[in-house]
């Protein structure tokens, strides 16, 4: 089994409730966006959300300069 990244661990541990947010540097955008896609795919496969919904999303609005948020939607 592959080693889990620090960003993935952080998202899983910190984003527990609806509307929780974590900020990340824009330099990690590609890595984190792929991770969010994977977590959403797994959430659909495990039936945590409906097939058309997303559990985690990326949000630029309101984030400090040079950062973005990962938000839990449900």
- Is the confidence at residue 1, as pLDDT, over 70? no
Q: What is the pTM of this model?
A: 0.81
What interhelical angle do 6-14 and 29-45 show, nearest 10?
50
Cα 14 from Cα 25, distance rounded (Å): 17
Confidence bin at 33 (pLDDT 50/70/90): very high
Residue 45's pLDDT is 95
Average pLDDT over every residue of 39-62: 93
Q: Which residue has the tokens 């559990």?
A: 55
Average pLDDT over every residue of 6-19: 83
Cα–Cα distances in Å, from 29 out to 23, 53, 60, 62? 11, 21, 11, 16
Please give the share of the chain, as a percent, with pLDDT higher than 90.
Answer: 70
């Amino acid at each position: 089994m592959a080693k889990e990244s620090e960003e993935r661990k952080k998202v899983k541990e910190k984003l527990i409730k609806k509307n929780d947010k974590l900020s990340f540097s824009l330099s990690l955008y590609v890595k984190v966006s792929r991770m969010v896609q994977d977590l959403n795919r797994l959430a659909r496969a495990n039936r945590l959300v409906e097939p058309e919904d997303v559990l985690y999303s990326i949000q630029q609005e309101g984030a400090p300069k040079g950062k973005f948020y990962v938000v839990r939607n449900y």
